[in-house]
Structure 1
Amino acid sequence: MTKNVLFSLLLLWGLAGWSQNDTTSYEQFPATQLQQDLDSIYLQLQENHPSLFAHRKKGEAEADFQQLRQKINRPMDRLEFTRLLSPFVARFRDGHTSVDLALESDEMERYVSGGGRFFPLRVLILKGKLYAGEAALTGTNIRKGDQILSLNGQSAATLIDQMKQMWSADGEPNAIATLQRLFSYSLWATYQWGSRITIDYLQDGVAKKEMLEGLPKEAFLQLTFNSGAAVRQLHLYPENSLAVVEINSYGNVEKTNLFIDSCFRVIKGQGIRHVALDLRKNGGGNSYIGDYFIAHLQKKPYSTVRSKTWHFSPMVRQLSEEHWLKRAIANSRKTYTQQGAFLVSPQFTPQQGATLKDSSLFVNANFYLFTGPRTYSSAHMTALAVKCGRLGIIIGQPTGERLNLTGEILTYAAPNSGIKIVLPVATYTTACGDGNQVGVQPDHLVETTIDDIRA
């Protein structure tokens, strides 16, 4: 790859007043019931997670658990209980082990029906500082890239520090990426803020203050999840003979693979010599999609993981025989070895991950992969494939997951409050690198700058 093309690729990388707080009242649960829920959640984690204490000493977790239990000494609503529970779960440092996001909860609906609204700005967090992103309202003087100093008199640094603890992640960059994306939700869930918020910010070196009116739920969901935006896009840069295929989710395998084929018809038809797969906003799904994309550019065999281990745990045993996970484990028994409650695979050998539906769509082109801290789960596995198989050049920032990763998640609902946690029942051993390292490291690191925010 010439210096000119690399430079072009790098350029593509972009990236105390009065306030009204929520006074909505929510269903209260007795302390004894919430203690029972905490006990049951911790028990389920210990009995079903395949490696719960891999990155947190059991003694420390036990001490944290006892302290948490003592704090549950009065009736609480689900939101308050979640604010105590989420940091405890997050400290296991596994992004697949978390308290479930409850966007359709009774608390959310009661808040909305009472006229409650949500913070109207996207945000970006850069080196511990908070910056304004796009605004979903008119009439504000705040511009993209303005530094947010405080909200409702609370410093941005304090807000970031408190709210990032709510989000499970293998490492802090992924927790920060989640907080950025779910900032409006986090403000509501943590502080009950949203309807009106006083914001102090810095614009062109001048300190300013403004009152922001919140968004209704529909607009909040649009702002947060970019509803209606294309999940898959093809960007062409003919002056550099470059195609960038952006895939923000590995969902809907059939539809996504048809899209990939359509991209390569264009790529082949135009004789494009450089192809990039952009997974910076991809949090996972089905890893076969990544393998199918790679099959258009590489024919050599590769490995993503060296081995896989299933935990045949109590939750797994209770599943219906028709459940997809139970069927997958039954199929694994043909070649895996039983070791107590675990099924351990033989060592995987390198192989081509997928077969093209139309072999004429194979292209001889240079392959690049764009990654960031939101590149997670199955998208992270694509990065592992590229790194371990030396299939292309990775550009951007480290992915958000540990090289030795967990997966195949199940959900458990606490008996009284109904709060749900998700937890994995499988582990994977990476085919290359240090398994304890968080993030597939890029070949060319590109840090986000304030200019990227303002672009």
Structure 2
Amino acid sequence: MKYLITLFSSLCLMITATNAKASQDSSHLRVFSVQELLNDYDSLHKIITDNHPALWADADSLATEQRWKEIRKKINRPMKRWEFIELIAPATTQYNDGHTALTYDFDFEEVEQLIARNGKLFPYRVKLYDDTLWITENWKDSSSLYRGMMVMSINGISTKDIVARILPVVPADHHRMREASLSRLFPFLLWSLYGWENKYEIVLQDPYQQSSTTIHPEGITMNGFFQRQFPRKKWNLQLFKEQQLAVISCSSYNNYTEAIRFIDSAFAVLQQENIRHLAFDIRNNGGGNSSIGDHLLAYIAQQPYMDVYSKTLRNGSMMRRFKENSGMYRVMQNFIKNGIQHGNHYTMRFETKGLDTTIKKENIFRGQFYLLTGPVTYSSAHMTALSVKSSGMGTIIGEPTGERIDLTGENASFTLPNTQLYGYCSLAVYEGAIADKKSKGVQPTIFIPFRPSALLSEKDPVIEKLMQLIK
């Protein structure tokens, strides 16, 4: 989603805006004609099929085209644009590519209106796993109240039915990542599709005492949701001196300068404290600038390594929109000049990746390295996992990453002509440096699945396993 890149800046703009713009621009209230919706739908189909470099890597071409036709037949009445998203988003998510979608987003005018009227969202962090929905954090009072309880229904609709309605609009590379994305965005998506806000009737079940209870909490504001689900602090260093262990956690590869400064200072601390075990926790890292992950791994790797064998760019209509002074234009011209051409696809093959030479070499880490991953580990963070897996430079603990081994990227945004809905489409595909192409995500060395029982104990099974390994 676009929030992966512009999340915080968009939020600030929305919160500080007055509702003057909203009163003038009523596109969120407008009902679009069938012909307008059909034109947008056909534009969406053309954009994706004309620009994606590997659209059918994990989907059947005939079946997906048939799905487009079936959905088109359902555009038979005027709709508001968010109704339209729910109907047509499954046409894009069927390709199992989290970098290609038309979906609900935080930048839309509908969200501005929610903020302007102080509308409130579902007030709990949740975890979806195998069609069951669990409360993992109580955002109303930050207590452990209801933690570890299973959500049975919301406002009279069963969780099973709610999940079945929301999942098809969530872009993802595989099912576990789709579950993780829904979990992360559940309050927002619940409001986007159902329109529920402010007050909720929630039926909860204690799976161990086999008892149920009904609660009626008020919601939290959009600002509150952002602060809790996407905190500003992206990096953290935790020391366990007795175990000679350090855990560096990172939730996003953004703000390159700040990230490099943190990494350099963290490895100075590791050297000073004589740390022998280091874990890098990217279980909640959705990606960003891959150079940040490369900088950290340069402190770990003893020799050059690989993350991808090749990169292919498709020189389609969206690629040709980039201006001559843009970085993407220059990259495409380099691929055209030096790459291997197959139609409008251009491929560059790579040798081993050289180590980042800007690190503080006196602080190179020579102890045991562990990488903690999960289904939210995506895009550039997934590339970090590819590097560790292919080189064997560390032990991976947790769940598989959220992306296919041959990942996509360089996604560019587009806007539909009538509804002004926007989406994004991958323009590049990378060949991951792992022979096993069928696995859904980079597979951990030690698999630690989600267990609802861990929610009650408030313990982290992955960290517990890490401690056991060190002992």
TM-score (norm 1): 0.90
1:223 aligns with 2:228: yes
The answer on whether the counterparts of 1:146 and 1:201 sit within 8 Å (CA) in structure 2 is yes
Question: Which of the numbers 328, 332, 342 marks the counterpart of 2:331?
Answer: 328
The structural deviation recorded for 1:110 is 2.6
Map of 2:295 onto structure 1: 292
Distance in 2 (CA, whole Å) between partners of 1:83 and 1:143 is 31
Distance in 1 (CA, whole Å) between partners of 2:219 and 2:286 is 27
The structural deviation recorded for 1:35 is 0.7
Deviations 1:236-290 (A, max 9, x none): 1112111111011111122111101111111001111111111000000111111
The structural deviation recorded for 1:195 is 2.0
Map of 2:216 onto structure 1: 211
Matching of residues 24-39 of structure 1 within 5 Å? 26-39=29-42
Matched-pair identity in %: 34
Matching of residues 28-427 of structure 1 within 5 Å? 28-138=31-141, 142-203=145-206, 204-225=209-230, 227-228=231-232, 230-346=233-349, 348-427=350-429
**291-300 or 395-404, which deviates more:** 291-300
Question: Which of the numbers 424, 441, 444 marks the counterpart of 2:443?
Answer: 441
**30-39 or 59-68, which deviates more:** 59-68
TM-score (norm 2): 0.87
The answer on whether the counterparts of 1:398 and 1:442 sit within 8 Å (CA) in structure 2 is yes
The structural deviation recorded for 1:158 is 1.9
Deviations 1:143-171 (A, max 9, x none): 21111111112111222222121111110
Equivalent AA in structure 2 for residue 187 of structure 1: L
The answer on whether the counterparts of 1:300 and 1:351 sit within 8 Å (CA) in structure 2 is no
Distance in 2 (CA, whole Å) between partners of 1:242 and 1:126 is 31
Gaps of 5+ in 2: 1-27, 459-471
Say if 1:395 and 1:141 are closer, same or farther in 2 by CA, change over 3 A.
closer
Distance in 1 (CA, whole Å) between partners of 2:352 and 2:118 is 56
The structural deviation recorded for 1:334 is 4.7
The answer on whether the counterparts of 2:253 and 2:288 sit within 8 Å (CA) in structure 1 is yes
The structural deviation recorded for 1:445 is 0.6
Question: Which of the numbers 427, 430, 433 marks the counterpart of 1:428?
Answer: 430
Equivalent AA in structure 1 for residue 450 of structure 2: T
The structural deviation recorded for 1:368 is 0.7
Map of 1:8 onto structure 2: none
**368-377 or 248-257, which deviates more:** 248-257
The answer on whether the counterparts of 1:132 and 1:142 sit within 8 Å (CA) in structure 2 is no
Distance in 1 (CA, whole Å) between partners of 2:53 and 2:427 is 6
The structural deviation recorded for 1:339 is 2.4
Distance in 2 (CA, whole Å) between partners of 1:418 and 1:61 is 24
Say if 1:420 and 1:274 are closer, same or farther in 2 by CA, change over 3 A.
same
The DSSP-based 3-state class of the residue aligned with 2:270 is: helix
Distance in 2 (CA, whole Å) between partners of 1:351 and 1:426 is 19
Distance in 1 (CA, whole Å) between partners of 2:86 and 2:223 is 24
Equivalent AA in structure 2 for residue 210 of structure 1: I
Say if 1:416 and 1:391 are closer, same or farther in 2 by CA, change over 3 A.
same
The DSSP-based 3-state class of the residue aligned with 1:314 is: coil
Equivalent AA in structure 1 for residue 214 of structure 2: K
Deviations 1:58-116 (A, max 9, x none): 22122211221111111111110011121221111111111244213222223443453
Gaps of 5+ in 1: 1-24
The answer on whether the counterparts of 1:53 and 1:92 sit within 8 Å (CA) in structure 2 is yes
The answer on whether the counterparts of 1:124 and 1:453 sit within 8 Å (CA) in structure 2 is no
Say if 1:54 and 1:148 are closer, same or farther in 2 by CA, change over 3 A.
same
Distance in 2 (CA, whole Å) between partners of 1:114 and 1:271 is 54
Deviations 1:379-438 (A, max 9, x none): 000100011111111011000000011111101100000111111111111212222421
The structural deviation recorded for 1:126 is 2.9
Aligned residues between the structures:
428
The DSSP-based 3-state class of the residue aligned with 1:411 is: strand
The answer on whether the counterparts of 2:307 and 2:386 sit within 8 Å (CA) in structure 1 is yes
